[in-house]
Chains A and B, each alone.
Chain A
């Protein structure tokens, strides 16, 4: 609380950034330890979590007061006018302090108390069990086994403890391979396709430089191919643009030389790095957030930002994976540089295309736990949870959610969940209200004792499950067993409901989705009513 100098300012105006009529709502602004709160004269409340604040800007003083513009990580932009400059300055300074925490322990999750006891909290954390998930996929089996090589995070700090590897890969091979891979992230199983007996594996780039080899690594890849009885060759997909991968060789890193590995088919899929993605989305938001935007501005901004091109590349890579598995029964090994950004995107989307389970509410949580949280996507750095290096911040996970959204648009009946579910998850990767996304890898999370000190998001989402259900979902439809999305450019659209989710004036005024969802719920009620009435009638 020491950062808060002013807790309440009256007669503050809230401007609508898109309304042409310059209409403003007058109300009172409150600053609490966790939130900024604005209550307008209709008593409507706008809550903004400090952790959601990406930037605060104080603009030049005007006749009506001092403008304060707050940009949030959930793409809310609010424009206040504070009557006295002094107050504005105090709030500005407080928000600067409150929105950037230096220590994990100061994040909201460590003080958030949803009134659950310890056993409820524990049960919440146990809701998603990855061991169960690997079992569901069909491992361990005669070809794949659980390895304890990383039991104490010894060979790879950023991997989970439980890793699945080919049964014939011995521990020395694994250790040897890990030494030849960036950050020790050696090839392990991400998804196992039971009926095709094919695997999606993931790792980081090899430390091959211009000519280095590693026999253990070559063996491990061979073991992965051999673990697939249906197909003797495997694909190695480097998700980076060729040029980037080649440049990495000068730093002693690089990519697999096809000559050194037997039976691999190597290919690049050209997804750009986190820095390109960060500035791409920034550029897009600058354009779409400007006032008096013309159609031409929007489309040239979409083009120059490159955002949709990047989304298309990520989804395209996932399609490559799914095709290799379904049409060739081939296994695929995916990596980028460190194997925690692009690799997480592509592996999780590939699995989502292949396995309808990941398109359910629960399955989607499992997918995020597996390919993102457990495999060490650096959520805290990418989301800027703590005051740190801004160059580590990047919307990689947001981009993944956008790819999923594009799939829901093409296959409206293939997903159990709806858009609100995606938006809610996005809200919470930044909110730091729950422990799931805090930290950068499992080791760090254990050290932070998140399971004892914070709550898991998933039980809270499941409690509200009805809100996130897609009324058109067809769980049994065979045509959705494997999704084959159309990736021709015209299928990609600006995701207004994400990037303008708080700009209500831009949205349709009537929601087909809500009506159908309500009707679906009502139908269940009516079915019960009919049963009751019929039994009453026969009893009469």
Chain B
């Protein structure tokens, strides 16, 4: 298919662009295969450069011959284009609609994007599973790499390489896979070096209504327990939901068959409930005319912060069991690709200082989200404005980022990255020139040959010039476990995301810059004092040498 077929009118003059906090500009609108571009007439500078894939929904209106297109983006921004001429307006609107909903992944921008920067380090090879495993293998020999899923035959949503107990062979893994939802047998998610306890994750066991068992499954899980120790199974679903799952062939671990494990049910919402929550929240934030009562009741009714609290509470519980009680943990919900990953990754943020560094956080996303098979393509297909409401669309990843932001607010010196880093990840998960978040799992990414055909987000982010924008100047590495408060009074609306386009952040940005200046000035002064001290000391020793006979 040629994009040209979809672009009925590639160029319209005298278009007026309205954006929040900017004066309206008039210019020429151009449509390309992947971008909507508006250049102002005066000096031909680009005023707007928008990826079609960032467009969530469009509305059109006509007043006489003047057409208006309202573009609602996946990053929640809303812009307006006034286009003279009804035909042009209709053409542009239908082209945008077609181009922003291309159904073939290989037509997406990452397959056409040619980077304008030198690749210093290829991000596709930055976080190889073997290297990640080396971080553990120095501390323990109880775990091994398994290549049982090399061809994606055992579990289509797992990567080719996973970490499993050394005592369990690949044959047993195949049997366990048959007993777990989506073939997602329990694998290592995190190894707590301090006490050797672990977090594992999996899909739900397929016990069904007649309580099917799997000896290999029991053996695998028990293999992770030290003698005399007990573990916890955290089911992210409420008990009644887990019970209902049995009718569909799913289920949960029966105490009788897993006597050394204590099961705890939590209730983390999934799917359309989260999507509706996001839609309500964004709607509330976008309406500046709400009086206080309406704003507060809409904010409450969105339930967004309730989800945040629930997820963070579960992550804290996991971290507590691991660090304080010295118990190992298995986490799953139904598929083990959504709430499970929120919990395993947040528990690591709490427990593991490395995951609070930029590279460590990237590795965490690579390991616990991309490799672990969170279906980004499905979950991030649409955002808060689209009416399609497909069951698989859900802001699971955004909720995770919001939870990280909440912890970052409470421990502003414990993270190497800043809020902008989280916002950038949110944007790229929904629309990007990079291939990193394309596809739903490793298997799909391999088939798409993303490594050969697209650029990795990490190749761009990890260049010093980009990193500086995402670095938290307050960061001081510490090796502590950080326990966030999950009290409602401690949780806040993430204004950097949800109010980003609804109010000017100029004064807050300037204050942030001033803070950076003070810190940088402090470093410069310290360095200068050190140099002067050294010079002085040298002068003194020279003096001493001259004076000595």
Contacts and interface: CB of A to CB of B under 8 A. Distances in A.
B519 A412 contact: no
Contacts, number: 150
Given A533-B536, A537-B535, A540-B539, A303 B296 contact: yes
Interface in A515-538: 515-516, 519-520, 522-523, 526-527, 529-530, 533-534, 536-537
Nearest to B286: A490
Given A523-B521, A526-B528, A537-B539, 10 more contacts: A18-B487, A295-B309, A309-B292, A414-B507, A474-B514, A496-B490, A506-B485, A509-B410, A519-B518, A529-B529
Nearest to B412: A512
Contacts of A529: 529
Given A493-B492, A530-B529, A533-B529, A510 B539 contact: no
B489 interface: yes
A462 interface: no
Nearest to B499: A490
Interface of A: 18, 288, 293-300, 302-303, 306, 308-309, 312, 410-414, 471-472, 474, 479, 486, 488-494, 496, 500, 505-510, 512, 515-516, 519-520, 522-523, 526-527, 529-530, 533-534, 536-537, 540
27 contacts: A294-B306, A294-B309, A296-B303, A298-B488, A300-B300, A309-B292, A412-B507, A414-B507, A472-B511, A488-B288, A505-B485, A506-B489, A506-B490, A508-B411, A508-B412, A512-B412, A512-B474, A516-B518, A516-B519, A519-B522, A523-B521, A526-B529, A529-B529, A530-B532, A533-B532, A537-B539, A540-B543
Contacts of A414: 507
Nearest to A510: B413
Q: Which of A300, A489, A493, A520 has the most CB of B within 10 A?
A: A489
B524 to A, nearest CB: 9
Nearest to A491: B503
Contacts of B412: 508, 510, 512
A540 B306 contact: no
B508 interface: yes
B291 interface: yes
Question: Chain B binding site: helix, strand, loop or mixed by DSSP?
Answer: helix
Contacts of A479: 507
A288 B489 contact: yes
A298 B535 CA distance: 60
A215 B84 CA distance: 61
A492 B540 CA distance: 60
A491 B414 CA distance: 27
A305 to B, nearest CB: 10
Contacts of B19: none
A492 B525 contact: no
A294 B533 CA distance: 56
Interface string B461-503: 0000000000000100000001001011111110000010011
A18 B295 CA distance: 27
A494 to B, nearest CB: 7
B508 A299 contact: no
Given A300-B300, A309-B292, A540 B540 contact: yes
B293 interface: yes
B261 to A, nearest CB: 24
B98 interface: no
Nearest to A511: B412
Contact of A413 (B288, B296, B507): B507
Given A295-B306, A300-B300, A494-B489, A412 B508 contact: yes
B102 interface: no
Contacts of A486: 503-504
Contact of B300 (A299, A412, A510): A299
Contacts of A309: 291-293
B510 interface: yes
A362 B85 CA distance: 61
Contacts of B518: 471-472, 516, 519-520, 523
B536 A537 contact: yes
A489 B292 contact: yes
B306 A526 contact: no
B305 A515 contact: no
B390 interface: no
A82 B127 CA distance: 58
A533 to B, nearest CB: 4
A95 to B, nearest CB: 28
Given A520-B518, A526-B529, A489 B491 contact: no
B409 interface: yes
Contacts of A302: 296
A289 to B, nearest CB: 10
B536 A293 contact: no
B525 A526 contact: yes
Contact of B525 (A490, A507, A530): A530
A479 B410 CA distance: 30
Cβ-closest 8 pairs across A and B: A299-B300, A489-B295, A412-B511, A526-B525, A533-B532, A309-B292, A303-B296, A298-B488
B111 to A, nearest CB: 39
A105 B57 CA distance: 70
B515 to A, nearest CB: 6
Contact of A297 (B290, B488, B490, B503): B488
B510 A295 contact: no
A519 B520 CA distance: 10
Contact of A526 (B507, B526, B543): B526
A308 B294 CA distance: 12
A411 B474 contact: no
B285 interface: yes
A522 B292 contact: no
Contacts of A526: 522, 525-526, 528-529
B496 to A, nearest CB: 13
Contacts of B515: 472, 512, 516
A492 B299 CA distance: 12
Interface in B522-549: 522, 525-526, 528-529, 532-533, 535-536, 539-540, 543
B210 interface: no
A540 B546 CA distance: 13
A410 B507 contact: yes
A293 B303 CA distance: 14
Contacts of A536: 536
Nearest to B503: A486
A523 B525 contact: yes
B388 to A, nearest CB: 28
Contact of A490 (B285, B309, B482): B285
A410 B505 CA distance: 9
Nearest to A305: B296
Contacts of A500: 489
Contacts of B521: 523
A308 B297 CA distance: 13
Contacts of B532: 530, 533-534, 537
B423 to A, nearest CB: 18
Contact of B474 (A491, A506, A515, A533): A515
Interface string B392-428: 0000000000000000011111100000000000000
Nearest to B522: A519
B509 to A, nearest CB: 10
B301 to A, nearest CB: 9
A527 B519 CA distance: 14
Contacts of B485: 505-507
Contact of A293 (B291, B488, B522): B488
A295 B299 CA distance: 10
Nearest to A536: B536
A440 B288 CA distance: 40
B296 A308 contact: yes
A300 B300 CA distance: 7
B288 to A, nearest CB: 5
B500 to A, nearest CB: 12
A298 B412 CA distance: 25
A507 B487 CA distance: 10
A126 to B, nearest CB: 35
A436 B448 CA distance: 75
